[in-house]
Each structure stands twice: as C-alpha cells, then as structure tokens.
C-alpha cells in the first residue's frame, strides 16, 4: 500500500531519489568509528540489508576522510556524510558521498568572524562539484543562536523554523535546489508542529523526518511513531530516520522500526496513535538519549543509558527529564534543556543540573551520584508529582 504524498521537488541522492511522490526512504546512521573501515562498511551493509536506502557516516577529522574514501570503494549504498561542526571538510568528502548534512547551528563554532552565508556557499560549492545532495539539518539542541535571540519564548519552535527558512532562501538564491530539510526535536509534539508549519510555508521542499535523541526501544520507537504517524498520514515527509540508543549489533532495529511505521501508516493503523501535538501533557520521568555515532569514546554509554532507565524507575511519576549523551562534543549543549544531564567521555561521565555543571565521575560512580541529584530535585518541590488518572 502506498502513502499519499504531498508534491515536493525531486532530490537525487546517488541511486536513490526522494520527493515528487516517491516512496518514503528509511535511513539510518553508523555508530562505529569511521576510521574502522571494516566495522563501518559492515554496519552500512547490514543497515542496507535491513532496508535502509541511505546510510549516514560522521566525519570529524582528516583520518575519517581517508577512511571514507576506503569505505566508498567497498560499498554501493547511497552514503550521506554528517559534517557535525566540521563544515570545512565538505570539499574533502564530497566526492566520496551522495549527500552532505550540515547543521545551521554548528556553523557558528569555527571562524566566528566569517558570515554563515559564506560558509554555506563554500559548502554548496563542494556539494555541487561532488554531485551531492544536501540536508539542512536543524536540531533543537543546537539552534543558531542569532535565531534564538529573536524569539523571547524559550520553548518556541520559531527559531528552528526561521533558521531552516533562511537557509532555504540562501540555497535557492545560489541556484542550488538539490536539498532537503529536517527539523528535529526530542519532543514529538514539537516535531509535528515544526514540520507542519514548515511544510505549510515551503511545500516544495522534501522533508527528512525524525525525533532527535528519541532514546531506547521501545520508548524511542513509541515517541517517534507519535511524531511521524500524524505527519506521514498528512502526506508530509519524504525520508525518515528512527534514532535509537542501541548497541552496534542491534543498529538495524532503527530501520525495522522505520519500515514498520511506514507499513502502519499505509495500512491506516496510525490513526490509533496519539496525535503528538494534542497528546496528553501529563508525562512522567523521561530519559532522552542520543543514538550514538562515531564520536562515542566509551561503548559503555549505551549500557549506562539502560542502567539509568532502570535506576530511575522509582521516580517514574515525576516530570523530570534526564538527558544521556554519548560524547564530549555535543553532550554539553544537547543536555542544556534537560533537568539533569550526563555525557560520556573515555573514562569519566560529566553530570549537570540544568545548565550548571556538577562534576566529573567514574562510570562506577555516576549512578549513585545521579540518584542523589534526582532525589534532591524531587525533594526541592520544583516538580509536581503526576497522580494517576482517577
Ligand atoms: S551526542 Fe555525540 S555521540 Fe551522541 S549522536 Fe550526537 S555527536 Fe554522536
């Protein structure tokens, strides 16, 4: 069964095409070290065998670029590269991949004196000369600070949409139309609202759907379904990823979950899911965890996320958000919006209370310390317990 699609422009990504009524493409991302060519190629092939049309790989430095060239030689799968904040690597990687993903919020980390428009032009030059498509990937945890400053309501989805729209305008003005956009948030309601609003303003642009830091299965799958079900049912979305915190040997579960969501929407089963924009606001304790990527320096991260879920069960009725991130690079920013945040280094785990650092702890020390923080937060009265419905 097919899902009725809204007409968007066609974007070719290697041998794959999205938009213009094409079937929705499920994609995934490698979490292996990019420099481990064997492991990364193996994971790409397993994800493709599970049904992924596009697989993303992250690059951080020159060694990753060299590895990407070797990976390209070993696989035919359509590859997307995640530049994280290293937009300067675009020219080096473009010839090895089919799509470049950049995050508008990350363009401000290096060369702050250079206007972001110049950085995008460089990036687009690289994409065009490498025959690559582009994704403008806006993420709630790293929105362009200039856009954030324009919206006084801290919870507004306005900065995400404004950032995406201004990048689209620039790309259009350059004459580069081979791009799609994503607007990801860890809250499914905000994903629905942001994508609906963007699609109403730019119905021509293909959308990549996803919930960022959805967490571990099954909660991460439920959360993603609540966001993607209503959107896909309305014909919004041309490609999607279900981001799950799972060990490397289970990464294909992201693809299986994505295909299941599509099958359910096509069969009309999504109507039974909550519309995330109007769903019950009374949510209890929530663990937000990243899906991991090549930046993870200690694979205990995935296990730690599961241990935190287990340890915090006693506080399930308290509306507390705990963010668990896999690396030192994005961890500090991506935990800012949570009540408590941890991010993982090679030997230590950093703990935060809101935006305030608490300290650095060993992997064997972090659980009791986090529990202490959670107990203090509950005892402080800052959160109101959610009583079960009568
Ligand atoms: S937080 Fe770090 S490890 Fe996790 S997905 Fe983002 S970049 Fe990768």
In whole angstroms, how far apart are CA 140 and each of 162, 190, 194, 202? 12, 9, 11, 20
Contacts of 265-268 spanning 24+ positions with Cβ under 8 A? 265/3, 265/228, 265/229, 265/232, 265/233, 266/1, 266/2, 266/3, 267/1
- From ligand 1's centre to the CA of 343, what distance in Å? 9
The response to whether residue 325 sits with its C-beta less than 6 Å from ligand 1 reads: yes
Fold observed for domain 11-272: TIM Barrel (3.20.20)
> Ligand 1, from 241, 243, 289, 290: best to mutate by most atoms within 8 Å of Cβ?
290
Give pTM, 2 decimals. Answer: 0.94
From the alpha carbon of 294, which atom of ligand 1 is closest? 8
pLDDT of residue 299: 87
Domain 286-379: CATH architecture, name and number where available: 2-Layer Sandwich (3.30)
pLDDT bin (cut points 50, 70, 90) of residue 127 is very high
The response to whether residue 101 sits with its C-beta less than 6 Å from ligand 1 reads: no
Determine the average pLDDT of the residues in 135-152.
Answer: 89
pLDDT bin (cut points 50, 70, 90) of residue 317 is very high
pLDDT bin (cut points 50, 70, 90) of residue 332 is confident
Nearest CA to ligand 1 atom 5: 292
- From ligand 1's centre to the CA of 293, what distance in Å? 6
pLDDT of residue 25: 97
pLDDT bin (cut points 50, 70, 90) of residue 202 is very high
For residues 287 and 378, what is the distance between their CA atoms, to the nearest angstrom? Answer: 16
The response to whether residue 377 sits with its C-beta less than 6 Å from ligand 1 reads: no
For residues 62 and 170, what is the distance between their CA atoms, to the nearest angstrom? Answer: 28
The response to whether residue 291 sits with its C-beta less than 6 Å from ligand 1 reads: yes
Determine the average pLDDT of the residues in 255-269.
Answer: 95
- Residue 117, pLDDT > 90, answer yes
Judging by beta carbons within 10 Å of its beta carbon (0-12, 13-18, 19+), is residue 61 exposed, middle or buried?
exposed
Nearest CA to ligand 1 atom 6: 330
The response to whether residue 142 sits with its C-beta less than 6 Å from ligand 1 reads: no
Start and end residues for every CATH 3.30.413.10 domain found in the chain: 286-379
pLDDT of residue 153: 80
The response to whether residue 292 sits with its C-beta less than 6 Å from ligand 1 reads: yes
Start and end residues for every CATH 3.20.20.20 domain found in the chain: 11-272
């Amino acid at each position: 069964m097919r899902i009725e699609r809204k007409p968007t422009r066609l974007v070719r990504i290697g041998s794959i095409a999205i938009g213009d009524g094409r079937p929705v493409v499920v994609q995934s991302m490698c979490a292996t070290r990019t420099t481990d060519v064997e492991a990364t190629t193996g994971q790409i092939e397993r994800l493709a065998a599970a049904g992924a049309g596009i697989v993303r790989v992250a690059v951080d430095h020159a060694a990753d670029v060299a590895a990407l060239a070797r990976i390209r030689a070993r696989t035919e799968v359509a590859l997307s590269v995640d530049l994280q904040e290293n937009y300067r690597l675009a020219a080096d990687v473009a010839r090895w991949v089919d799509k470049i993903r950049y995050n508008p919020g990350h363009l401000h980390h290096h060369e702050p004196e250079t206007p972001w428009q110049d950085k995008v032009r460089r990036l687009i030059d690289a994409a065009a000369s490498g025959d690559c498509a582009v994704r403008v990937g806006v993420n709630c945890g790293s929105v362009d600070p200039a856009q954030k400053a324009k919206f006084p309501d801290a919870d507004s989805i306005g900065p995400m949409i404004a950032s995406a729209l201004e990048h689209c305008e620039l790309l259009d003005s350059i004459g580069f139309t081979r791009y799609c956009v994503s607007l990801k948030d860890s809250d499914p309601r905000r994903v629905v609202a942001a994508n609906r609003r963007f699609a109403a303003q730019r119905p021509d642009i293909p959308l990549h759907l996803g919930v960022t830091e959805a967490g571990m299965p099954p909660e991460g799958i439920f959360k993603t379904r609540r966001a993607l079900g209503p959107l896909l049912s309305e014909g919004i979305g041309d490609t999607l990823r279900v981001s799950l915190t799972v060990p490397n040997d289970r990464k294909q579960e992201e693809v299986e979950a994505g295909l299941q969501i599509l099958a359910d929407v096509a069969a009309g089963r999504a109507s039974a899911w909550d519309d995330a924009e109007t769903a019950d606001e009374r949510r209890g304790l929530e663990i937000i965890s990243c899906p991991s990527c090549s930046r993870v320096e200690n694979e205990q991260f995935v296990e730690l996320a599961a241990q935190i879920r287990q340890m915090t069960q006693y506080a399930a009725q308290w509306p507390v958000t705990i963010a668990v991130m896999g690396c030192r690079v994005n961890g500090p920013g991506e935990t800012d919006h949570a009540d408590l945040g941890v991010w993982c280094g090679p030997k230590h785990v950093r703990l935060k209370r809101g935006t305030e650092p608490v300290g650095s702890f060993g992997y064997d020390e972090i659980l009791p310390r986090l529990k202490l923080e959670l107990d203090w937060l509950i005892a402080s009265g800052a959160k109101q317990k959610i009583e079960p419905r009568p």
